[in-house]
Amino acid sequence: MIFFIIIKNNSSRIKKKNFRKVGNFQLWEHLIHTLKGQRVFIDTDSDLVINKCKKLFPWVQAYQRDKKFIKLENVKNASPTLMMIKNFLKKYVTSDEEIIVTTHVTSPFIKIKTIKDAVKKLKKYDSVTSVTKDFNFAWLENKKKKLVPINFNPKVITKTQNLNPIIQSNGSFFIFKKKTFMKYNNRIGKKPYYYEIKFPESVEIDNYEDLILARKICK
C-alpha cells in the first residue's frame, strides 16, 4: 500500500491554507504524522514541505512538482490532478496490483485505522472513496436556477430520519489499484464502494469556518 499526497503551496479560498496552524502543527503535518510508518509520496511545489520531510519525516518521499502541472493549476476549469497521479504511478509504482491511497492534507482527523478498514473493500470492489451521509431536505439548482427537490416530496410532510440520505464525497481518500487507474484514468473505477466517514474524521478544511471548527476540535 502506497500513499500519494498532493500539497499545494497556496490555495484559492484560504491563503496558504495548508500551512495554517491547527493545534500544535501546520495543517499538512497532521496527515503526515498519521501516516508514520507507511510508504508516503508527496508531489508539491513547496520547498518548505520538501525540506521539512527530509529533516523530520523520513518515511516520506517528497518531490518537486513538474512545472507543466503548476501552469495548468492557473488555467480556469483545468485540474491536473489525474495527470499528476498518472505521472506518479509511472515513475514510482512498478506493480499493477499495488494499492494506492490518495489522501488530502485538508482532512486532518482521518485515522489510519479507518483507511486500512476501507482498503479491505478492494476484495469485492475495484475502488473505494470516502463519503458522508446527510439526512436533510435537499434541492438541486438546475440550469434555469430553479430548485428541484431530490430526496423528498414537498407535498408530503416527512421526518428527516425517514429521508433517503444525500451521499456526499468528502475527499478524505480515494483507494484503488494501479491497474484500475491506468485502465480508466480515474480514481474511481466501474465498481466503487462508498465508505462512510463520520464526524470528526469527515471534517474537510475548505473555508474559514472549517478551519475554525478544526481548531476547536484540536483544543
Structural domain spans, the chain: 2-130+170-218
Q: Which helix (H) or strand (E) holds 51?
A: helix 47-56
Determine how many CB atoms are found less than 10 A away from the CB of residue 158. 13
The predicted pLDDT at position 79 comes to: 72
The three-state (H, E, C) secondary structure of 158-199, written as one string:
CCHHHCCCEEEEEEEEEEEEHHHHHHHCCCCCCCEEEEECCC
What's the pLDDT score for residue 78? Answer: 64
Burial class (CB in 10 A: 0-12, 13-18, 19+), 145: exposed
| Third-level CATH fold of 2-130+170-218 | Spore Coat Polysaccharide Biosynthesis Protein SpsA; Chain A (3.90.550)
Helix (H, G, I), strand (E, B) or coil at 14: coil
Identify the segments of the chain with pLDDT beneath 50: none
Cell of 36: 508514520
Q: How many CA atoms lie within 13 A of 89 on its CB side?
A: 25
pLDDT at position 182 is 97
Q: In degrees rounded to 5, what are phi and psi of residue 22?
A: -130, 105
Q: Report the pLDDT value the prediction gives residue 187, as an integer from 0 to 100.
A: 96
- Number of Cβ within a 10 Å radius of residue 121: 16
Predicted pLDDT of residue 76? 65
**Which pLDDT does position 164 carry in this prediction?**
87
pLDDT score for 68: 83
